[in-house]
Amino acid sequence: MLEEQLKKIRSAQRISAATVIGALTTNFFTLHGDRLQADDPAVTVGYGTFDQQTVLFVGVNRGATLQQRLDYHFGALSPAGYRKVCRGLTQAEKFGWPVITLINMPGAAADVAAELNGQSQALAVTISQMGRLTVPNIALFLGEGESGGALALANSNRILMLTNSIYSVASPEAVQAILKGAQQDLTKYLPMTAAQLAEIGLVDQIIPEDEQLLEQIKQALQQQLAELGTWSATRLQQQRTEKYLAVLAQFE
């Protein structure tokens, strides 16, 4: 079952963040660079008009062709990528824009260059800034999202997932390596599918993957933004913390 899901979400035909942003927004303006080191092509950060309001979008670029995937590091963000995200979050906070993150990534870059350039701090700062936002934020998993790299973009008021998406502390391959031995059904040991995560209260909505997928995504985001738009800044901040604490309490 999980093997089939992975084939679908890692397919070159998988819906991309660029497709979603292009279909849902008008007058989109892209931010470039972290104002310190580089402009990470693995993530698009920018703002545009969605549902008659300005929204900041953060979209992970995984790529479809082999060359694109190499250029985008297969969607693994570098420290510069996370700093670019934080730059966008600062603008969203200043101008009162809701934030939508579009996630499909194997995790954060874990090479020597990333570590030398402060990956741990970049992740920590992004997680913290996402949690402290006084504007609504929504995370939408288009494919897979693993480890702290995905968590940094998913510390949000609402988490939405496409039916076949997964969200996990580590990739299925890494989990299998830890367990060792014969191939096993990893979902028995670690909830990672959309259905499992919805059951424990981490995921708020599962979006069916049908021919009307873009329309389904649009309606889901509109619905969530309409509700969150009525919340106070204090409630938005408290709800993010309470959400994760409630999930963790189930495993104590």
Predicted local confidence at residue 183, as pLDDT:
67
Predicted local confidence at residue 173, as pLDDT:
82
Predicted local confidence at residue 1, as pLDDT:
63
pLDDT digits (tens, 9 = 90+) for 116-137: 999 999 999 999 999 999 999 9
> What 3-state class would DSSP assign to 68?
helix
Whole-number Å distance between alpha carbons of 158 and 228 = 9
Task: State the CB neighbour count (10 A cutoff) for residue 22.
Answer: 13
Question: What pTM was computed for the model?
Answer: 0.94
Predicted local confidence at residue 176, as pLDDT:
81
Stretches where the chain sits below pLDDT 70 are: 1, 181-184, 189
Cα-trace Rg, the chain: 17
Predicted local confidence at residue 102, as pLDDT:
98
Predicted local confidence at residue 2, as pLDDT:
78
Assign 3-state DSSP to the chain and report helix, strand, coil percentages, each to 5: 45, 20, 35
Cα–Cα–Cα angle for 20, 122, 38, rounded to 5 degrees: 70
